[in-house]
Amino acid sequence: MPSCLLSYPAYLRPGVGLLFDDILAIGINHDSASVEIREQVAFAAEKINVALSSIIGETPLEEAIILSTCNRTEIYGVLPAQYCPTEAGNAVVEWVERFHGLQSSALNECIYRNTGHHAVTHLVRVAAGLNSMVLGEPQIFGQLKSAFAVADDAGAIGGRFGQLFPAAFRIAKRVRTDTAIGENPVSVAYAAVDLAGQIFANLARSKALLIGAGETIELVARHLKEANLGSMLIANRTLARAENVAEQFNAEAIMLADVPDRLAEADIVISSTGSQLPILGKGTVERALKKRRYRPVLMVDLAVPRDIEAEVAGLSDIYLYSVDDLRGVVEENMRLRVNEANKADEIIVAGIAALEQEFRSRRSVDVVRRYRESALSIQEVELAKALKAVERGESPEQVLQRLARDLTNKLIHAPTTGLRQLAREGDSSQVTRAKALLGLEEDLGQGPDKPTLQ
């Protein structure tokens, strides 16, 4: 068993944030790891169910959610009662390395770990967009809700996360409605379009090729349309999905297989797919450049793993930017949201405090219910014994005396054992609180006419 298993129930542990000390959040993001590392630990959508089953089976986690986006991979988990968070965290990191075939300790320098209150705060800040590369970006909220839904469908969600995550979503939504953190589009998609506007003086004369048909590409297409782009192509493995996006923006839909033939038409190429292998290689881009007579092309790779081979950056007349390269572009926009982020943090602090109070109320009700059920069970057993004794002809007076004695002894057994343990541990404040819970006077046993506890 882990060396730091705790010896008494979670709800009696001293300290701050006791209600969440079974919550674990582990991950890497754009601040802690480069895109090269992030793409090694990204979970493909089609493998999430397998990964959830594996992590539940091979680590101490009882519940789990895997969030994997371009900028982060995070695992949220629920620990068994009294389990050491440090050892559980080590087990999860080792599992990630095994699942992705990485060397042991490969993630040590870039992984972050949050437990308890800090883990819940991290979760809410992520959901509110306060932990994103682009401060306040709205996509992460939907991505986190989707990750929760996927885990729920996979059977990886229990009562703990079933209560915690919806509550976290409510707090994050309050941040959106009560601050201007989401105003003025400053997502990675917006940053990509802003970059295009800096490179091409007149976007109305430019043509864009967007590879993929997910939320990010839709957002890119919307921003390009608003920037008066001349025309655009939408390429996707599924033509119907490409057509669905293209229809919204008066664009042309093509199959992904047609990209090499149409690449020469594009002044701007922005890609964001879930492919595990590159979509565009150096040879394909070289042939397109030749057809264009070497007119410059802006390429923005928003995917993790990357859609465009890194070697493409070495070609003349190609301006290739990855997700990490956009950091400088978005910093200026982020400054506009700093004041709103401060307000958002205040809302989060208040929201989590209210959530803690709500959970305390639920826990106290549950403890009272369980304690009452235990007492009633003892009552039923002792009363049945007393009735049988009366039926056998024993003296009613003796039966009642024995009933009162046995009931008293059994009802005070557990509290007495707990008090002795607290006394042995030397925590006088806990003993004082226990005396108050039992309805005892603080100076009990100190006066001449007062009994002494033995």
At 281, is the secondary structure helix, strand, or coil?
coil
Sheet holding 112-115, edge to edge: 63-68, 72-78, 23-29, 112-115
**How far is residue 192's CA from residue 259's CA, in Å, rounded to a whole number?**
20
Take residue 449 and report the two structure tokens written for it. 């006419």
Compute CA distances 371 → 193, 201, 215, 364, 414, whole Å: 61, 73, 50, 10, 10
Closest CA to 23 of 149, 91, 143, 113: 113
296 φ/ψ angles, rounded to the nearest 5 degrees: -65, 150
At 233, is the secondary structure helix, strand, or coil?
strand
110 among known catalytic residues: no
Take residue 25 and report the two structure tokens written for it. 């959040």
Compute CA distances 53 → 57, 68, 73, 144, whole Å: 6, 16, 17, 19
Surface-to-core class of residue 10, CB atoms within 10 Å of its CB (0-12 exposed, 13-18 middle, 19+ buried): middle
Sheet holding 268-271, edge to edge: 252-255, 231-236, 207-211, 268-271, 297-301, 318-322
**How far is residue 260's CA from residue 269's CA, in Å, rounded to a whole number?**
12
Rg of the chain in Å (alpha carbons): 30
Contacts of residue 280, Cβ cutoff 8 Å, sequence gap at least 6: 211, 259, 263, 269, 271, 299, 307, 308, 309, 312
Catalytic residue among 4, 70, 84, 110: 70
The answer to whether the beta carbons of residues 253 and 246 sit under 8 Å apart is yes
Give catalytic residue positions: 70
